[in-house]
Amino acid sequence: MTKPVQAINRYKADLREMFFLLFEQFRVNEVLGKAPYEAWGEEEVKTTLQEVYRWVREVTGPLNVVGDTHGCKLEGGRVITPPGFKDAWKQLYEAGWNSIGVSPDYGGAGSPAAVQALVLELLAGSNAAFAMYPGLAHGAAEVIQHFGTPEQKKLYCERMYSGKWGGTMCLTEPHAGTDVGSAKTTAKKNADGSYTITGTKIFISGGDHDLAENVIHLVLARVDGAPAGTKGLTLFIVPRVRTSEDGTLGQTNDVAVGALEHKMGINGSATCVLVFGENEKCVGWPVGGEEKINQGMAQMFKMMNTARIAVGVQGFAVASTAYLNALEYARERKQGSSITHWKDATAPRVPIMQHADVRRMLLDMKARVEGLRALAVKLAFHQDQVRVHSGKDEAQVAYHQGQVDLLVPLVKSYGSDQGFRVCETAIQTYGGAGYTRDYPVEQYCRDAKIFSIYEGTNHIQAMDLVGRKLGQAGGANLQSFLGDVAKFVAAHSGHATLGPAVKALGAAQEAVGGSAMRLLMWFQSGQLALVPLAANRFLEMMSELTVAWLLLQGAVIAEEARAKVDAAHPDHAFYTGKVQAALYFTRNVLPGVTHKAELMGAEDKTAIDIPDAAFATV
Amino acid sequence: MKILVPLKRVADPDNANKVKVNGGKLETTGLEWKPNPFDEYAVETALRLTENGTNPKARQGEVVVVTFGPKDTETTLRAALATGADRAIRVDAADDALDGDLVARALKALVEKEKPDLVLLGKQAVDGDSNQVGQLLAEYLGWPQATFAGSIQSEDDKSLVVGREVDGGTLKVRVTLPAVVSVDLRIVAPNSVRGKHTPPTHAYADGVRFAALMAIMAAKKKPLAEVKLADLASDTALKIKYTGFELPPARKAGIKVKAVSELVDKLKNEAKVV
């Protein structure tokens, strides 16, 4: 018998840090109150984040361990979500948090993307598994909003944004995971313009649930006679229950849940095998109508971009609460005496925070979490700038959109990789206690592992970066990025306290620029085999450069602000923390960038050269 | 029904930054503020009395929130507006230029102007814990009062049945309106407040409601008036004089006793409690 779990909240967030990023570092105030964010002011932003934080601590936070323990169940062909999820879903949509960034045309509040990203942090950090259901419904609705016919938008968007209906994205098949182009699901045209869908999709998050009255699947399928590979894929709208044009529910649509996966983490999220058209009665409609046949991948990329950013946010969201929990534990747990009294057995026991290696772990987590958050907010900042300049200044739009495109693989990969590692460090900080279910960090660690795998594995992200993004716009996006870093270095390398760190940033910037050239040379000289070997390493280098830059940018601001604050004011300690985190990262992580550039230069191919049989003789 | 709810902001007791004492004065730099919880319960109660719980967006009365303080206390008022209050008034005053009696006298003048049917407020603020304003206000107005309300029933517009939290149980009283009612913790239980618009089968969520996003956005557009303290009270002198502040002494470490007999001995002869 399973021990009954107590629904208690363990979630912690740092609103002061969020406000710093929004109002001091990325100066979101400059876009507030102006088109398209007329309705938003600083007070609305702050109140919203405070209220969401209050809400998640009372509603989704306590359900995190409940979802993990109970998991989802398949009963009578339908998924039953963990106890409490239904009510949380209802409350979430009544409060409107999930549609904060949605256009008011579709019932949303039209917030800046930067605010939306931090609301997502609170939702995903308090309960990563729960947050996936509304997150996917949102992503699917966005695709229909961007590519759907007017009738499709009218029927689906507002219902999906408001939580009346859920949504999923169905790409993966048993034979088509990363290789999505080999998908076998077929679509056969019917006389009425609809298509009969037949096939099996796996690993479908929220593939079915009891939270909403309907689930709208976006399914990649191949129309009869379409070309092989990704070029022949079309995206179909496939509702679980068919509906009339006014949204009235009709008969079921022959979409069956074949099975639920048993997973390492995010157990509250139903990961389904979906069987479409077992009885040849599953119909779907191409997103955007007949003229959008075979354009499924491009459309799906829209959703994947949103989803990839969201996964990066999940990464640091879970890592952040892992860090803050570990910090609380380290402040309270007494063990051992100070190293200065190591010979004295009667010396008073001190909180483990007083031990050097625990402090190192705490600061390591702090620097990474804050760096990742800054990276995600920077991406959102560029998204907001695109919207602000749209239709007015096309050069600005191109610049900011270019930075968004460039940063997406960084946010997704580095956010998820480092997020997981922070969770692991959090367990280490606790010691044995962290390995038990009495504390939340082991769940955080299990939940966080999937982030580097789904929505395109982190290697796919790295290949996207080196294969597509570096050369995008003739390399202009990368040049602008490197130029922005160089400008910061030039402006602050003489800084009284941060100068040496800024100079180190300059060295790392050169190493990243040089390595990008090396990748280009490999492409041009036909040494393609080296590219996938080095892609992850390059993504990491570029991410570490970006994070160090953003931490230093924050530190420069914090140094200036600290000088104006009374030493007794808590902001004084806050700003000091920003500076210390930046110094730690630039001294302990950033130097690795130049080292990694040297490793790339060595062009090591042992992983390719080793014969298959040599890996092991068993 | 028109309800006036006086609110106070207090230093957030859950925040790591606590009130400090500096040279016999309170140091409030860097404190995080939040509404006094009992006042939040009063706002929740007022909303429940002026709506149909099954359709809370259609208001069935008016809730006016009022606070005393500097400009930044408007955040507290906006938060109340975001949860559903209809209108707000800030009485401009410095934090340290107020005491319970002055607030009660100024509220009296405000009540005479606003003419609410009911003044609902928290039984006390969790900073000073004075527990005075409600009682003083009722006296100055000459209105009936019911303090420490754990339940309220409103059947008509003429009176309320209030369950008062008293030692050993609940004392039910009927108060004629207009009246002053101060509320206690249990007032926000799912069935504590029975407004006449809400069907008896409706159960509220436990506690204070959350502000919805659209309500936060709309709060900016709700009226927030500013009034000068001197316009409400001709005499703004304080009756309470603060001569000094000090933190409670730190607790001394305990001792371990070796045997029960020693414990009994100490309780008898040292603590003299048995």
pLDDT digits (tens, 9 = 90+) for B103-113: 999 999 999 99
Residue B125 reports pLDDT greater than 90: yes
- Find the farthest-apart pair of alpha carbons in chain A and give their distance in angstroms, rounded: 88
**B contact test, residue of A43, A87, A161 with most B CBs within 10 A:** A43
Residue-averaged pLDDT of chain A: 96
Whether B21 has its CB under 8 Å from any CB of chain A: the answer is no
Query: What is the least distance, in Å, from the CA of B213 to any CA of chain A?
Result: 5
Return the pLDDT at A4. 57
Do B219 and B74 touch, CB atoms closer than 8 A? no
Whether A236 has its CB under 8 Å from any CB of chain B: the answer is no
Marked catalytic residue, from A121, A158, A424, A455:
A455
Do A242 and A216 touch, CB atoms closer than 8 A? no
Chain B CB contacts of A55 below 8 Å: 210
Chain B CB contacts of A109 below 8 Å: 213-214, 217
> pLDDT tens-digit profile of A499-553?
999 999 999 999 999 999 999 999 999 999 999 999 999 999 999 999 999 999 9
Residue of chain A minimizing CA distance to B57:
A94
| Closest CB to A51 among B27, B75, B211 | B211
Indicate the residue type of B61: G
Average pLDDT over residues B43-69: 95
Chain B CB contacts of A575 below 8 Å: none
Split at pLDDT 50, 70, 90, the class of B271 is confident
Residue A446 reports pLDDT greater than 50: yes
> pLDDT tens-digit profile of A96-153?
999 999 999 999 999 999 999 999 999 999 999 999 999 999 999 999 999 999 999 9
Average pLDDT over residues B207-233: 94
Residue B16 reports pLDDT greater than 80: no
Gap between the Cα atoms of A53 and B211, Å rounded: 12
Residues B152, B154, B159, B164: what is their CA dihedral angle, to the nearest 10 degrees? -10
Return the pLDDT at A1. 42
Could you state, in order of their start, the residue ranges of all structural domains in chain B? 2-249
DSSP of B114-164: H--SEEEEES--TTT----HHHHHHHHHT--EEEEEEEEE-SSSSEEEEEE
Residue A56 reports pLDDT greater than 60: yes
> pLDDT tens-digit profile of A191-211?
999 999 999 999 999 999 999
Average pLDDT over residues B215-223: 93
**B contact test, residue of A48, A51, A92 with most B CBs within 10 A:** A51
**b (16+ CB within 10 A) / e for B191-217:** ebbbbebbeeeeebeeebbbbbbbbbb
CB contact under 8 A, A569 and B212: no
| Closest CB to A96 among B16, B207, B213 | B213
Instruction: Report domain A166-295's class.
Output: mainly beta
Indicate the residue type of B48: R
| Closest CB to A47 among B27, B78, B207 | B78
Gap between the Cα atoms of B60 and A360, Å rounded: 58
Return the pLDDT at A33. 93
Residue A593 reports pLDDT greater than 90: yes
Query: What is the least distance, in Å, from the CA of A570 to any CA of chain B?
Result: 6
Whether A48 has its CB under 8 Å from any CB of chain B: the answer is yes
Tell which A residues from 509 to 568 touch B, by Cβ distance under 8 Å. Answer: 566, 568
Gap between the Cα atoms of A535 and A516, Å rounded: 10
Average pLDDT over residues B16-39: 83
| Closest CB to B213 among A43, A95, A566 | A95
Query: What is the least distance, in Å, from the CA of A95 to any CA of chain B?
Result: 4
Which residues of chain A does CATH 2.40.110.20 include?
Answer: 166-295
CATH T-level topology, domain B2-249: Rossmann fold (3.40.50)
> pLDDT tens-digit profile of B181-202?
999 999 999 999 999 999 989 9
Highest mean pLDDT among A182-186, A313-317, B25-29, B164-168: A313-317
CB contact under 8 A, A39 and B217: yes
Residue B224 reports pLDDT greater than 90: yes
Residue among B110, B97, B96, B200 at smallest CA distance from B154:
B200
DSSP state letter for A287: T
DSSP state letter for B271: S
Which residues of chain A does CATH 1.10.540.10 include?
Answer: 15-151
A455 catalytically annotated: yes
DSSP of A179-213: -GGG---EEEE-TTS-EEEEEEEEEEETSS-SSSS
Average pLDDT over residues A333-341: 89
Tell which A residues from 20 to 39 touch B, by Cβ distance under 8 Å. Answer: 39
**B contact test, residue of A15, A16, A19, A47 with most B CBs within 10 A:** A47
Whether B85 has its CB under 8 Å from any CB of chain A: the answer is no
Chain A CB contacts of B19 below 8 Å: none
Classify domain A15-151 by CATH architecture.
Orthogonal Bundle (1.10)
Return the pLDDT at A499. 97
Chain A CB contacts of B79 below 8 Å: 47
Residue of chain B minimizing CA distance to A98:
B213
CB contact under 8 A, A95 and B17: no
Whether B210 has its CB under 8 Å from any CB of chain A: the answer is yes
Average pLDDT over residues A165-178: 92
Q: What is the pTM (predicted TM-score) of this model?
A: 0.92
Return the pLDDT at A49. 97
Highest mean pLDDT among A33-37, A179-183, A444-448: A444-448
Residue of chain B minimizing CA distance to A574:
B30
Gap between the Cα atoms of A486 and A492, Å rounded: 10
CB contact under 8 A, A48 and B213: yes
Whether A42 has its CB under 8 Å from any CB of chain B: the answer is no
Residue among A416, A409, A472, A411 at smallest CA distance from A449:
A416
Residue of chain B minimizing CA distance to A39:
B217
**A contact test, residue of B71, B72, B208, B216 with most A CBs within 10 A:** B216
Return the pLDDT at A3. 52
CA atoms within 13 A on the CB side of B41: 28
Q: State both tokens at A528.
A: 């393609």
Which region among A10-19, A262-271, B11-20, B238-247 has the lowest average model confidence (pLDDT)?
B11-20
Average pLDDT over residues B145-158: 93
CB contact under 8 A, B217 and A94: no
Query: What is the least distance, in Å, from the CA of B53 to any CA of chain A?
Result: 14
> pLDDT tens-digit profile of B77-105?
999 999 999 999 999 999 889 999 999 99
How far, rounded to the nearest angstrom, does the alpha carbon of residue A320 sit from its chain's CA centroid? 13
Gap between the Cα atoms of A448 and A125, Å rounded: 10
Query: What is the least distance, in Å, from the CA of A48 to any CA of chain B?
Result: 7
Which region among A178-187, A359-368, A551-560 has the lowest average model confidence (pLDDT)?
A178-187
Which region among A24-28, A334-338, A497-501 has the lowest average model confidence (pLDDT)?
A334-338
